[in-house]
Amino acid sequence: MSKKRIVVLTGAGVSAESGISTFRDSGGLWEKYDISEVATPEAWERNQDLVTEFYNQRRKQLYEVEPNAAHYALVKLEEKYDVQIITQNVDDLHERAGSKNVMHLHGELKKVRSSVDEDLVYELDGWEVKKGDTCEKGSQLRPHVVWFGEPVPMIPPAAELCSTADILLIIGTSLNVYPAAGLVGYSPPGCPVYLIDPAEVNVSHIPGVKIIREKAGKGTAQLVDKLLDHS
């Protein structure tokens, strides 16, 4: 018999206990930085050095942190389920924990790409991109992330994946950013949906959602134990 499919939508909160700041909590990244200065195509046009430095710092931090109990619990879930992770995060902590199927909606910090040809994507060796680091067509390398105002090319395959879910888990996202937040609407009618977050999240568009008011580490480990027992 084929395994049931669990689709997991994760956001910054799943990596918070690893020491990576979320975006919209108090003390979050968007309190310290102006989105329009570092995370838009216009910011890149205006000041490539500032944008490059912002992502260099994010990438440097990524080398200093480790996956946490939430990332590992999702790996354990693969013992009995076909687990498909759709993450809004640009970190690689799901992969480092050992999850097999990880789709990045908003790009990946450890990759860069040409600023004239989006198909020229490169894996970086270290954390730093310098001014003058160029693609084979001679353009400055830009972060391989989706900025505000840019299309999100992974939405169609992510929506398709959600439509095949037997169970949907949502972990550590404020569900403020579309189109990512709209993905939950693609899960089949009657599909059980669980949401793990220590704070209140607006779930008015998710009928019947079961809310687990815990941090990701504890909440995910508990839910995974329950799902493994009940499968």
- Mask of contacts with ligand APR, 93-122, x by CB under 6 A? -------------x----------------
For ligand APR, give the closer residue by CB, 135 or 172.
172
Q: Compute the Cα dihedral for 83, 8, 41, 110 and give only its sign.
A: negative
Sole residue written with tokens 């990045």 = 104
Tell me the residue nearest to ligand APR as measured from the CB. Answer: 13
Q: At its nearest, how many Å lie between ligand APR and the CB of residue 47?
A: 19
For ligand APR, give the closer residue by CB, 33 or 166.
33
Cα gap 213→154, rounded to integer Å: 29
Contact flag: residue 91 with ligand APR (CB under 6 A): no
Stretch that binds ligand APR, among 13-21, 109-117, 126-134, 149-157 (CB under 6 A): 13-21
Collapsed DSSP state (helix, strand, coil) of residue 172: coil
Catalytic, out of 94, 104, 106, 144: 106
Interacting positions 154-193 with ligand APR (CB under 6 A): 172-174, 176-177
Ranges of H-type helices in the chain: 13-16, 29-32, 35-38, 41-46, 48-62, 69-76, 93-97, 155-162, 216-229
Stretch that binds ligand APR, among 11-19, 50-58, 123-131, 155-163 (CB under 6 A): 11-19
Angle, vertex CA 59, rays to CA 53 and CA 65, nearest 5: 140
Could you tell me if 174 and 24 are in contact, meaning their C-beta atoms sit under 8 angstroms apart? yes
Cα gap 50→40, rounded to integer Å: 12
Q: Which of 6, 7, 11, 18 binds ligand APR (CB under 6 A)?
A: 11
To the query of whether residue 71 is one of the catalytic residues in this protein, the response is no
Q: At its nearest, how many Å lie between ligand APR and the CB of residue 106?
A: 5
Q: Which of 197, 206, 212, 224 binds ligand APR (CB under 6 A)?
A: 197
- CA 20 to centroid of chain Cα atoms: 12
- Which residues contact residue 71 at a Cβ distance below 8 angstroms, ignoring those fewer than 6 apart? 14, 15, 18, 93, 94, 96, 97, 99
Residues that bind ligand APR (CB under 6 A): 11-13, 16-17, 22-25, 28, 88, 106, 172-174, 176-177, 197-199, 201, 215-216
**Residues known to be catalytic:** 106
